[in-house]
Structure 1
Amino acid sequence: MSLPDVAELDLATKVGQLFVVGFEGPEPTEDLRELLTDYRCGNVIYFSRNIDSPEQVAELSRELQTIATEAGPEIPLFVTADQEGGVVSRTDWGTEPPSQMSIGAGRDADLARSVGGAVGAELASIGVNFDLTPVLDVNNNPDNPVIGVRSFGEEPELVGDLGAAMADGMQSEGVLACGKHFPGHGDTSADSHHSLPVVDHDRERLDAVELAPFRRAIDAGIDAIMTTHVSFPTITGDDELPATVSRDVQTGLLREQLGFDGLVVTDGMEMNAIADEMGTPEGCVQAVEAGCDLLLVCHTPAVQKDSVEAVIDAVESGRIDESRIDDAVERVLEYKERRGVGQQTPSLDRWEATSDRSREVGREVAAAGITVARDRNETIPFDTGRPLHLVGFPGGRASPAEDDRYEPTLVADALEAGGFDVELHEVETADALPSFEGDEQVVLATYNAAGDDEQVRAVERLDEAVDAFAALVVRNPYDLARFPDVSTAVSTYDYTPATLSVTGEILAGRRRASGRLPVTIAGFEAEN
């Protein structure tokens, strides 16, 4: 398909090509139809709320492409999603990859490339042509509430190498990859969904840590970079200015200093760090002025429409020169053509041809990444011929970016499949623990215990009372800092089906864990 020249497009169509809009439910809403036709929005984003099954997503993608191309110039949509793996996986049918921190624990760039290829092939089969990953943030702050296991780890070189490899694999399947969150969201203790974090390191430190993975990915040819709503006063001179709307960051640093000529994509413009500071419509105008090409407005139809109108008004009033719009649209069209967007028909048959590969690669990642951080008493393997007691605490989303699927029953089911006779005890406090005999086998699955004193008390109590005990750190490896003397600890980094299945095999002794912690845990000495 040959796409039209920018000169052939009217202003409304050009501005529409800059917007990536979300919607509610598994079918096109009337608001979405209006955004794609009357407002000419040229791109969409899927969240878990839009996804039921591979067949449904393939049909949805076909329908949206038809709506968009029949409404005006035949320009196909970027269909985007945050399919990072682990706790940010928009699909929920068993093929989602483990978290990036699990890949980091395995430290294998070839495996990262395989993950990118498998995810890219599966997404392409259901009509998703733009994956908003890899996460290139260096997670060196254990109190970070939004990145954590979404990152490959705390070593800039490792993060850059694995991120570049994952992007290469994804792009080899015709799906755009997008490194995020530039210039770095790893060393923050606030979540930009809720407020404006500040990273106030000097330029030497930023070059060595935060910027290094982005430079590596850019040099390797990544298609897109996503901005972050974090303040970098060393670059901007203003500790209240989000990087997304800073020309010093997006044009001066990213374009001119780092030499990036791909797509610059904003993070969600309805996040509080933008919405509360300047409002989403004004934020979109400022992001275009700063040098961004694609604007994510993901949730509210009225805000989406106001934002499109605000950018059009800014051009018509002379605030934004139309050449800035043309530059962004040329880049959007270039990448739609380069990656063959809209040229393949999504289908269930195509998905079925990719799903086995996704599952197998997921198991390879889990086997390489799951970490037996300590096993002083050689508790592992547990005896499958005896009952295994599993104690589980409830989970929940640590950030609005995450999907909320964790339940202790997921762990119990995986251990049952691994050959154990499991008795599950779901509790919310340490005082609710059953009374176990010293010779019983007990596993306690922690979930964000770093912020939960009850889970910490439960681990300490069981480790003292039971000989065959292990703490299974299901999500956040920083939990280990809260019980640094525990006798046996296993870190899984996520609760995807692949990860929990392999965990069951490791605890049963049928597979050996080989991962190493990719982050430093204060006060905890790993013994693997």
Structure 2
Amino acid sequence: MKSKFVRIIPLLLILIVVVNCATNKVRQKAVVKTEHDSIKTNSVKPIKKEIPQFDYVSTTTLEKKWVDSIYNSLTVEERIGQLFMVAAYSNKDSAHIKSLDKLILEQKIGGLIFFQGGPVRQAQMTNRFQKLAKTPLFIGIDAEWGLSMRLDSVNRFPWNMTLGAVQDLKLIEETGKQMALQSKRIGVHFNFAPVLDINTNPKNPIIGNRSFGEDKEKVSDRALALMTGLQRNGVFATGKHFPGHGATSTDSHYTLPVVNFTQEHIREVELLPYKKLISKGLASVMVAHLEVPSFEARKGFPSSISYPIVTNLLKEELNFKGLIFTDALNMKGASNFKSPGDIDLAAFLAGNDILLFPENVPVAIQKIKEAYDIASITEERLASSVKKILQYKFKAGLKNQKPIELTNLSTQINTQEDEALLYKLYENSITVIKNKLAILPIKELDQEKIAYVKFGDDSHETFFETLKKYAEITEVSNENLDSLLAQLNDFNKVIIGFHKADGAWKKHDFTAKEILWISEIAKRKKVILTCFVKPYALSAIPSFENIDGVIVAYQNNEIAHNVTAQLIFGAIQAKGKLPVTINDEFKVNHGLSTEKINRLGFTHPQNVGMNPFILTNIDLIMQKAINEKMTPGGQILVARKGKVIYQKSFGFHGYDKQVEVKNSDIYDVASLTKIVSTLPNVMQLYDKKTINLDSKLGEMLPVFKGTDKENINFKDLLSHYARLQAWIPFYKKTLDKNNKPSDKYYRKTFSEDFPFQVAENLYLRKDYQDTILTLVANSKLLPKKEYKYSDFTFIILKNYIERATGKSLDELSEKNFYSKIGANNTLYNPLQKFDMSIIPPTEDDNYYRYKTIQGYVHDMTAAMEGGVGGHAGIFSNSMDMAKIMQLFLQKGTYGGQRFFSEETFDVFNTCYYCPDGNRRGIGFDKPQLGKSGPTCGCASMTSFGHTGFTGTMAWADPEQELVYIFLSNRTYPNADKNLLSQKNIREDIQQVIYDAIIHEN
């Protein structure tokens, strides 16, 4: 039998263990409580002892019921799991996905914040994870300028700094809306935007372009607009980085930045955006990892785990009731301070609701559970955050969580609305900060010789190509400064483009060499400096004294390039204001307005009331024409309300498919010559009263005196109502018995007696010009007066114009119109200026010239006139043709110049004989009066234009403010079958254009 002492020993051991456990628990509780109390003792103002229980004031009964039911169904550990939002990537391997599966299944985490990847992959992962989750997950993304900040294959909205230059806040709200629609489509509930930091430090390494600027009011207004756009469209906004990261000089990803402002300064400046947005319903705030000594006395203590900053300042003083996120807890500004788990616990104790990007969730949950077990974290405190999280999940629609539909996802997040908005944003942001002697916009193009010089290491192609759509621009480059300056001697203006890669954190600095070279160029030439970089970059330039124009374009992308070129040439006016200070001369909110002159611009179809999806049918029709060999290729352009909204090239120069058609290629426009060369020169003579509608042919040209045509009046002549024959094959009289060019009329080389080149190595006799006009004068009139289209009209007018002015028609058209409107690709005899390679051929001629006709006018009579006909001979591209048609649409003005009066245009655009069944205006063709005609039948009767034998069409409609250009070489290789006309290709495309007009109810 054992002694009593032996029997007592086990009981004593048990008692010792119990005492030790209790002591350890008390000690552990004391440690946590001491740390918690130390936070309270460093408060800047008294705090409440109890954090109030979750407030249901703004909830509905249904919402409260759902929140309570979910909360009550969770264990304590699962409730704690709701506090965590874990990093997810859709561009990582299966091991990453499985690790997230485990956290969702085992730790019951509350949400995911997605980073790099792609939209479809992210949506697929989101569907997978939501299916696994016991409680639906919050999905967040840090997408300050839209999903493209993190995901590939998505439209990119401008940086906040760019938006900071925009004065129309409705556009910024629209940006928030489109960002929200992108996010919702892939199942995102929180966008960690807008950035509310006031960027007062130009050298801030982490904020910079992410800020709306340095003006607290402007930042507040723009942030509020973006927040409104996000939250009105179903995505929660997150203001960041509380209490303000804009003045820092270090990056919290790598260290703990210090904010050395007083409390008063922070309240007046940094906190102003928070106050405004909180008063308007901001859903959440992200707390930064910053050292803010004026609010947190403990040295090196991050704001993200500071009770005085999170609870006292944000929750109590600012009365913020929404969700509070920490910044990412893996950032060195936090992780250097405490280890994983400890930092999470400290952040929760400080008053944060959601712990973002934790490094070790199981350890963090364990730490928080231990604090809960010893009542350092009360049930009320835990419920306050978890029920708030569940309430926001209810508001996000997670009660009825459905899988994301993957069909058409890519097209539905890259919308036409996005692209239309981008044009508006850049049009409203580009900022002119200097405009000496109104160098902007460039006006008198015929007086300018402009060079373009590129600096920086990123692409400039779209900028340069768009500049060339307005004027003849020569790119000049050289590795040697002296050589470069010598090359610039022949130019009177230099546009300098500074291009740096479009990245929010990339350096945009000028090199010392670039600053020197810009200075040296500006000393010698009128310079327009255009900077596709953040405005701070310009602060390195010591003096702008010799630089005449300075443009801040903010970002180096295609739309910024396009819009800036438009501004330089006056298609749009400057509207932006600097969001930050560059130097003492160019301070925040500085920005000059420039003049808008009526030149064609460029934009998205929706911005001028056109449906871009319907316009895609143009591509189908044109491809059909090419596939069925109606034409080898062509160019099509559509402009509305002064903006080009569709410009494409199709197919090849020939059916051998050797040379693709480009927008810059030039076509033989055939009879369009009548309205783009001869007619505007006639209109100027009419404007000067040199001629009138009653002028007679016998008075205009002596050759018609005494003929049966001498009394034909100007109105009848141009209305094709003068009984003239359609045409005469003049060339046939110059062929020999073998139907080859006769030696009597032709030579193989140029000479004074044989000056008119009709093809390669073929020159016509000088005196045959008079013969052509004599043959016209002696031709028989048609037996009755009726509409009959005739080339004679414009053959006659060419001779009249040249006689009246003493100058050749090609010289007049170039001097009076093309050089002034920037139609630098429009001319007669293009081989005198351009290489044959950019000119599609028009025919393999086996009846007159016996050559492939390429670069020489197709029309035989115009060829016999040395390529300069009144009825044919012009070569051009779609852009130049559109400029001329826009000039007509604007009734004689273009680029700030007037070429003829409105009254004159109205006279020429009148159909005088419509009651008699003749649809023609004075020189212009007009819509058909019956079933057949040149248009789709959808154009208004005020519309006008012309078609051409080579397969061309130019048409304008004042009522719809439309310009339509169709250029092709349907005559190649053989002109006999006009399938393009028979199949109504040009007309069907015109019908699509009218169908695309969005009619407002």
Same fold (TM over 0.5): yes
Residue aligning to 2:312: 252
Residues 127 and 229 of structure 1: is their aligned pair in 2 closer, same or farther, counting only changes over 3 Å? Answer: same
Find the counterpart in structure 2 of residue 391 from structure 1. 454
Residue matched to 2:205: 145
Aligned 8 A contact 1:369 1:492 in 2 = yes
1:165 equivalent in structure 2 = 225
Tell me which moved more, 101-110 or 324-333. 101-110
C-alpha contact 2:227 2:237 (8 A) present in aligned 1: yes
Does the aligned pair in 1 maintain the 2:498–2:533 contact within 8 Å?
no
Q: 1:157 to 1:468 in 2, by over 3 A?
A: closer
Say if 2:174 and 2:229, in contact at 8 Å, map to a contact too: yes
Residue equivalent to 1:108: 168
Alignment of 1:290-309 (within 5 A): 290-297=350-357, 303-309=360-366
Aligned mate of 1:31, from 95, 99, 107: 99
> 1:490 aligned to 543, 547, 551, which one?
551
| 1:475-516 CA distance string (max 9 Å, x none) | 321112111533232223334554344334334543222101
Residue in structure 2 matching 1:99, options 159, 171, 179: 159
Match of 1:330 in 2: 387
**Hey, what's the Cα distance between the residues in 2 that align with 1:179 and 1:432?**
52
Q: Tell me whether 1:182 sits opposite 2:242 in the alignment.
A: yes
In structure 1, list runs of 5 or more residues that go unmatched: 395-407
Does the Cα contact within 8 Å between 1:125 and 1:347 map onto a contact in 2?
A: no
Which residue identity is paired with 2:497? Answer: L
For 1:369 and 1:257, the matched residues in 2 are separated by 36
Structure 1 contact 13–40 (Cα < 8 Å) conserved? yes
Counterpart AA for 1:334: Q
2:560 matched to which residue of 1?
A: 499
1:437 is matched with 488
**Residue aligned with 1:79, SS:** strand
Q: Which runs of 5+ in 2 are unaligned?
A: 1-62, 501-506, 593-1001
Alpha-carbon distance in structure 2 between the residues aligned to 1:172 and 1:426: 53
Distance, in Å, in 2 between the alignment partners of 1:304 and 1:504 is: 52
Structure 1 residues 223 and 281, CA gap change in structure 2 (3 angstroms)? same
Compute the displacement of 1:268 (Å).
Answer: 1.1
Aligned residues: 500
TM-score (norm 2): 0.46
- How far 1:84 sits from its partner (Å)? 1.1
Distance 1:509 1:337 in 2: 51
Q: Displacement of 1:269 after TM fit? A: 1.0
Letter in 2 for 1:33: D
Give the aligned residue type for 1:516: K
Cα offset for 1:294?
Answer: 1.0
Partner of 2:302: 242
Q: 1:468 to 1:202 in 2, by over 3 A?
A: closer
Instruction: Give CA-to-partner distance per residue, 1:112-149, whole Å, 9 cap, x none.
Output: 21111111011111222210000111112212111112
Cα deviation, residue 204, structure 1: 1.8
Asked whether the equivalents of residues 229 and 273 of structure 1 are also in contact (C-alpha less than 8 Å), the reply is: yes
The one-character-per-residue Cα deviations of 1:443-479 (angstroms, maximum 9, x if unpaired) are: 232544458545544543444455344141x332111
Name the CA shift for 1:387/1:203 in 2 (closer, same or farther; >3 Å): same
Q: Give the C-alpha shift of residue 55 in structure 1.
A: 3.3
Is contact 1:82–1:132 with CA below 8 Å preserved after alignment?
Answer: yes
Alpha-carbon contact 1:140-1:154 (below 8 Å) kept:
yes
Match of 1:375 among 404, 417, 435: 435
The CA distance in 2 between the partners of 1:88 and 1:152, in whole Å, is 18
What per-residue deviation string (whole Å, max 9, x for no partner) do you get for residues 136-167 of structure 1?
A: 11112212111112111122122122212211
Q: How many Å apart are 1:250 and its aligned residue? A: 0.7
For 1:443, the aligned partner's letter is: I
| Cross-structure match for 2:259 | 199
Alignment-derived partner of residue 7 in structure 1: 72
Query: Residue type matched to 2:584 in 1?
Result: G
State the SS of the aligned residue for 1:372: strand
- Whether the aligned pair in 1 keeps the contact of 2:113 and 2:357 (CA below 8 Å) is no
CA RMSD of aligned residues (A): 3.2
SS of match in other structure, 1:112:
helix
SS of 2:252's equivalent in the other structure is coil
Measured after TM superposition, the shift of residue 45 of structure 1 is 1.4
Write the distance in 2 (CA, Å) between the matches of 1:454 and 1:34. 55
Deviation (angstroms), 1:344: 7.0
* Separation of aligned partners in 2, 1:432 and 1:128: 56
Q: Which shows bigger deviation, 320-329 or 305-314?
A: 305-314
State yes or no: 1:345 paired with 2:396.
no
Q: Which amino acid aligns with 1:393?
A: G
Assess, with a 3 A threshold, how the Cα gap between structure 1 residues 418 and 87 changes in structure 2: closer, same or farther. farther
Q: Does 1:519 pair with 2:568?
A: no
Cα 1:268–1:499, aligned 2, differ >3 Å: closer, same or farther?
Answer: farther
| Residue 462 of structure 2 is aligned to residue 413 of structure 1 | yes
Higher relative CO (Cα under 8 Å, sequence separation at least 6) belongs to 1
Find the aligned partners of 1:455 and 1:370 in 2 and give their Cα distance.
22
Offset, 1:219: 0.2
Deviates more, 1:274-283 or 1:159-168: 274-283
Q: Is the 8 A contact 1:105 1:369 kept in 2?
A: yes
Give the deviation of 1:236 after TM superposition.
1.5
2:378 is aligned to: 321
Mapped to 2, the partners of 1:418 and 1:144 lie a distance apart of 34
2:139 is paired with a residue whose SS is strand
Distance 1:193-1:434 versus aligned 2 partners, 3 A rule: farther
Distance 2:567 2:130 in 1: 45
Letter in 1 for 2:104: L
CA distance in 2, matches of 1:209, 1:386: 49
Correspondent of 2:141 among 74, 78, 81: 81
Match of 1:404 in 2: none
Letter matched to residue 582 of structure 2:
I
SS at match of 1:445: strand
Whole-Å Cα distance in 1 between the matches of residues 251 and 345 of structure 2? 23
TM-score (normalised: structure 1):
0.85
